[in-house]
Structure 1
């Protein structure tokens, strides 16, 4: 069973069961946020006026990762294409400590699909160097979103 989302931001998503739709996004206008099991926060960002192709979507992911690298003094864990069928999706994944000193992982992802762009910021609790970054989880989340 999944939670089907039809967003006014121009995407659909089929997130895992027990996904919480957060009523008020803390990320500002043209964003929506969803809470997934395991403390995963997914922020979907409509920024299609500044991104006009797959290469710019990659650049967007790099630009957005700067917040976690610079403001949060994070460390680059990995970056690259997610290799999903039917869409171009590029992720930059950063590890950092939150305000409470707890380890987090943030992935900024630029998605180009059907001539449209959507950006994602996916944040989850850092578990250990043996399992992070959890790219299969990230791929599943990004694969569940379709830009219309």
Structure 2
């Protein structure tokens, strides 16, 4: 997730180096949630199951080996490829807290799932802030 302009000052000067240490030295270039490898093209299904080409087996959304193979109709109906990009996530959503226990290397899917509640909260705040500014300067919004 890109750093928002208003939050840029909360990150330390050495954030790029810290992020590299978390993603590639500590996590070994794999998502710490599901195990997807950074920079690789991965075949995945809508429910999070994905094909691990290195181990030649299917994994679930938590990176565990599947006990039962996906049905062929599931594979052909919903399979898609995606390039995995690791990012360093703040577990408490506070960009000023950069302790290693608060940082985790996550792929884009796991990062979005982890931040889902925070994204909803920020979207709600943005919507209400815009409505308040509109009411202040333009009068109440018209409902359509």
The structure with the largest strand share of the pair is: 1
Query: What is the TM-score of this pair, normalised by structure 1?
Result: 0.24
The structure with the largest helix share of the pair is: 2
Query: What is the TM-score of this pair, normalised by structure 2?
Result: 0.25
